Amino acid sequence: MFLAQTSKKQRNTIVASLVAVVLVASSITVLIVFSEQSTPAPLILNVSLNKTEVIQGNNLQAEVNVASSHHENVTLNNEPGSSSINCTFEPATGISNFTSLLTLGVPDSTPTGNYSVTVTASGGGTKENSTFIVSVLSAKVIVSGTLNVLYPVQINFADLQTNLTTTFDFPLTQSKSSNGYAVLYSPGNSYRVTLMNGHTYNATASLDYTYLWAVFTDTFQAGTLYVYAPAGNSTMPGQDFTTP
């Protein structure tokens, strides 16, 4: 027999992860099987953003989907960069497959421009990255336009989000009307104001007019203005408001 003819020292030198002894026709066969290390299952990481632009002082949210052929613990984080953008995950860990909500917080002090953000998923001995670009926009925008009326006095922009009003007073110059009375009128009708980016405003205006040798001031609803300046712009053309 094989084992009988093999010395004790020789038997001790047989290295195997699994030894199966099988009796076949009154003989003994030694079956040696070497085990192989399993390969970690790859992670699939996908980040979905509805938009890639965010105004200073605001948040941007994205959906993070993690998938794997094996159910395993996965941790999400972001690679630290040079920007001050803060990334939080809810949840930050989970058993694949799962979905996490990523919130990117942009402080007021973050300079405008484009930033690269990298999300990392780690689990099961593997690691996967996903990188995307976020554009930070200025919170305040200079808006310029015209009020197409004679003798404009003032235009007001009421912020529908904050209920605050921004006013522009047209420069006035004294003149004499045809009846000899001194009146004030504006030599121009251009306005220039600083408004909040991404906000909507109701505009009202006032103007002077002469009727029967008397000067009157009239106020009217000029219209609605949506302010939005993309990355790289701190000014935008406004709306040309006219008398209704």
Q: Which CATH architecture has domain 43-137?
A: Sandwich (2.60)
pLDDT of residue 41: 64
CATH 2.60.40 at 140-242, yes or no: yes
Q: What is the pTM of this model?
A: 0.70
Cβ-count burial 35-72 (b if 16+ within 10 Å, e if not): eeeeeebebebebebeeebbbbebebebebbbbbeeeb
Domains 43-137 and 140-242 share a fold: yes
pLDDT of residue 10: 46
Provide the residue ranges of all domains of the chain, joining segments of one domain with +.
Answer: 1-36, 43-137, 140-242
pLDDT of residue 173: 81
Strand pairing partners for 99? 65
**Secondary element (H or E) of residue 105:** strand 98-105
**Beta carbons of 66 and 42 less than 8 angstroms apart:** no
Give the tens place of pLDDT for each residue, 214-237: 556 788 898 999 999 988 788 999
Residue 115 CB contacts under 8 Å (≥ 6 apart), including other chains: 81, 83, 85, 133, 134, 135, 136
pLDDT of residue 195: 96
Listed as ranges, residues in the chain with pLDDT below 70 are 1-41, 80-83, 176-183, 209-216, 243-244
Q: Count of CB atoms within 10 A of residue 20's CB?
A: 10
pLDDT of residue 83: 67
Give the tens place of pLDDT for each residue, 38-50: 566 688 888 998 8
